[in-house]
Structure 1
Amino acid sequence: MPSTADLPLSDFARRLRPLGRILEEEDWYVWCIAPTYGDDGRTHVFFSRWPKARGMGGWINACEIAHAVADAPEGPYTVLGPVLSPRGPGFWDATTCHNPHIQKVGDRWALFYLGNSNGKTDTKRIGLATAPSLDGPWTRSDAPILLPGPEGAWDDHCTTNPALVVHPDGGYMLYYKSWNTADYLRDKPPVRGNRKYGVALSSTLEGPYEKHPANPLVDFSGLGENRQCEDAYVWREGDRFRMVVRDMGVFNHEYGLIMDSSDGIAWSRPEIAYLATDAYFEQPPRPKHLNRYGRFERPQLLMRNGRPTHLFVTTQGGRQETASGFVFRLD
């Protein structure tokens, strides 16, 4: 591992032990690995996948959410098949289903995800599917459970990247990412707009969710150079809230960030949650068709008794030269 002596590594980062890639599926890109321990004691994951022929950009217009299971977090995994697929014209999730986030809430399983209706970012919306078992049947929300803000608001473009916290005092905190449409249209690639995080609150799982007046809660735009973040996972550990996200310029675009909070609203300064891929394993030179090579994205945690046991991320490359999951153990 490269020297990290001068980096603000968190205790979380120092506990990571790489276990390796998972779900290197032939003919598929695999992304967004959301893990949970099932009632059977096995590790279940819900993940995004789309055909290799669609290229990396297929996540926005050709993605489905599938289910796999293994006896151990590092696999090997048996893919059980798709659970949420695009529903076609007339539905809010007509063209893609992506960004799964799985939790057990009471006696039900809650699978949050994003869908869109036109294959573009401006119709990305967060929805919810529930089931009595991880094997289904899954019942989807007829409409998105969280909509963008009004024109001109910081979150008027979309709602995406769902992360749920069940508050010990009752109620539900749904964290989400968004950005402003005018910023998105004005700024030039490769990074358009400025991604920020807010939270919406509800007394019931299905909502309605009311956005917190302090939103956006996580906003790095004041640091300059269009610094931002995405892919948050939020959880309570002891009496603290914690958040792990993908860095988009605070340190660089290859690391992860971690923050904590006493109330889930005001967040600490970020530390490094994880490093780039070359800190943990070697891989061949970047194939020409992969332009996000060398970084981990969409961090999700496997939790047991209120504490994380493993970090699941996704990264490009692998045997299929597409993308797959990657697992770390937390010592």
Structure 2
Amino acid sequence: MTRHFLRDDDITPAEQSEILDLAAELKKDRWADKSLAGPKTVAVIFDKSSTRTRVSFAVGIADLGGSPLIISTANSQLGGKETPADTARVLERQVAAIVWRTYAQAGLEEISKGTTVPVVNALSDDFHPCQLLADLLTIREHKGELKGLTLSFFGDGASNMAHSYVLAGVTAGMHVRVASPEDYAPREDIVADADRIAAQTGGSVTLLTDPLEAAAGADVIVTDTWVSMGKEEEKLARLRDLGQYKVTQETMSVADSEAIFIHCLPADRGYEVDAEVIDGPQSVIWDEAENRLHAQKALLVWLLRQG
């Protein structure tokens, strides 16, 4: 059966750990796996602009012996004259996998139905699961075992990043705190899904409005841009609503003394996080950015092995 990775809970806790183990192995020996030798081609489709996703997938596919085919929807029929399902039927006869950075989660779900090659969510409005694999790899490198750690997210709790932290975090057995205004809380159905997973893994999800309460004793402090692509017209309102959730030196001082700071980037310095935190000794954002490469290579290898 073809496996897809459309949201963080498409993999079990054991599978998540397996992918992270493989990522660590591939990081140690970057050229060890040639699952895409041929070269096989992977279609990497972009509706949204990108730096880290584009580079890490293109380089990673090449590392695995394959050829990345970068497609812009602005220069293709996808989303115009052709449905995602029809595009998938064309691509699956020529490529080994499909990676799509898009807006609506529904498009990813449609393109995956009946498709005989793996489909990977490289970002949607609802989730960013590839980023979370990289983040978990980074946290594991710096903190050791993931299970039992407390991760605190600050800002827009209804964002794709917050949703993925909630799901991926509890899948790893972590305690995830989301600090946000009530109007920016994570979707109830996603929290419910996370609670079901947490009951099996020993993790938890806690929604808070007090940022310092959320930071207290945390092992990992994380935030994301307050103004995601497609929401630029909301910038002033978001800066007003989310201002107290900026990650500052005070935030870090309340967290565990050995806490680390992560951010998926790009960061709006001075808005959701102070530059002193980004450039400070507890920041591991550059390791995190590099780990997109290793985590996504591991994901592709793992998905191809499932077929």
TM range (shorter): under 0.3
Q: More helix by proportion, 1 or 2?
A: 2
Higher RCO (Cα < 8 Å, 6 or more apart): 2
State the TM-score, normalizing by the size of structure 2.
0.28
Q: More strand by proportion, 1 or 2?
A: 1
